[in-house]
Chains A and B, each alone.
Chain A
Amino acid sequence: MDILYFAWVRERIGLPKEQVETGAATVAELVDELKAREERYAVAFSDLSALRVAVDQKLTDFDAPIDGAREVAFFPPMTGG
């Protein structure tokens, strides 16, 4: 599965995209797996209320299932316009 990071999430984790093998059933479980990896992930995901998530390019919630998903993206609230 591809994991994408944007804006300050990308900066804190230090890369825009990576491939992970995961057994996580939901976004929240994936976040727990990532946080357990290294300090930079734990820091980036320390406050989920400051983050948004998209699964296969659709905005969703942290309790969304990711079974069969190709792409999960994490980013701060959007500031377009």
Chain B
Amino acid sequence: MAVRVQAEPFDPGAELNSFTARVEEAGAVVSFSGIVRDVAGGLKVMEIEHYPGMTEAALTEIEAEATKRWQLVDSLVIHRHGRLSVGEVIMMVATASPHRGDAFEAAEFLMDFLKSRAPFWKREETGEGTNWVVARDDDEAALDQW
């Protein structure tokens, strides 16, 4: 299990390769990457604020919960903070399991909880000003399925 919260960019392909290389006993690896997208048009910068200390603790707790629920050989969560441009990778999760079902479900669980229970806040800067991204009811509702 590993959690990294960082301002620096990372290469999700290289991270996935090194993750896969160290989980030899896993038969299945699933990964997800989140990328800054310009939904409404005009997005210049996506700024991600977080709560140092609590962020790492919350992610570690979410990862530990996933490890309790599914048979995981290993998992990885990387999340950036600071100023990001459209197309940049914000975060990734990867899960390794003997079985693909566990790897898929655990990855989705990590994503759902990371979105609504890890202390990150997104602010969009456009030519017209800045606005805080509002949490979606769907994201909160997604937690109920678990």
Q: Do B51 and A79 touch across chains, with their CB atoms under 8 A apart?
A: no
In the complex, what residue of chain A is closest to B120 when comparing beta carbons? A80
Interface residues on B, range: 20 to 34
Residues of chain A with a CB closer than 8 A to B122's CB: 79-80
Q: Do B90 and A81 touch across chains, with their CB atoms under 8 A apart?
A: yes
Please, how many angstroms separate the alpha-carbon atoms of A62 and B116 in the complex? 18
Q: Does A25 contact B (CB under 8 A)?
A: no
Interface residues of A in 38-63 (CB under 8 A from B): 54, 57-59
Please, how many angstroms separate the alpha-carbon atoms of A6 and B134 in the complex? 14
Selected contact of A8 from candidates B58, B120, B132, CB within 8 Å: B132
Q: Do A4 and B51 touch across chains, with their CB atoms under 8 A apart?
A: yes
* Majority secondary structure of chain B interface residues (helix, strand, loop or mixed): mixed
Q: Do B51 and A80 touch across chains, with their CB atoms under 8 A apart?
A: no
Interface size on A, residues (CB 8 A): 16
Interface residues of B in 90-133 (CB under 8 A from A): 90-91, 111, 114-123, 132-133
Q: Do A80 and B49 touch across chains, with their CB atoms under 8 A apart?
A: no
Residues of chain B with a CB closer than 8 A to A75's CB: 51, 119, 121
Q: Does B57 contact A (CB under 8 A)?
A: yes
Q: Do A78 and B117 touch across chains, with their CB atoms under 8 A apart?
A: yes
Q: Does A77 contact B (CB under 8 A)?
A: yes
Residues of chain A with a CB closer than 8 A to B119's CB: 6, 54, 73, 75, 78, 80
Output the least CB separation between B39 and chain A (Å).
13
Q: Do B133 and A54 touch across chains, with their CB atoms under 8 A apart?
A: no
In the complex, what residue of chain A is closest to B137 when comparing beta carbons? A77
Q: Do B54 and A54 touch across chains, with their CB atoms under 8 A apart?
A: yes
Interface residues of A (CB under 8 A from B): 4, 6-8, 54, 57-59, 73, 75-81
- A54-B54, A73-B119 known, 7 other contacts, Cβ within 8 Å: A6-B49, A7-B123, A7-B132, A59-B58, A75-B119, A78-B119, A81-B34
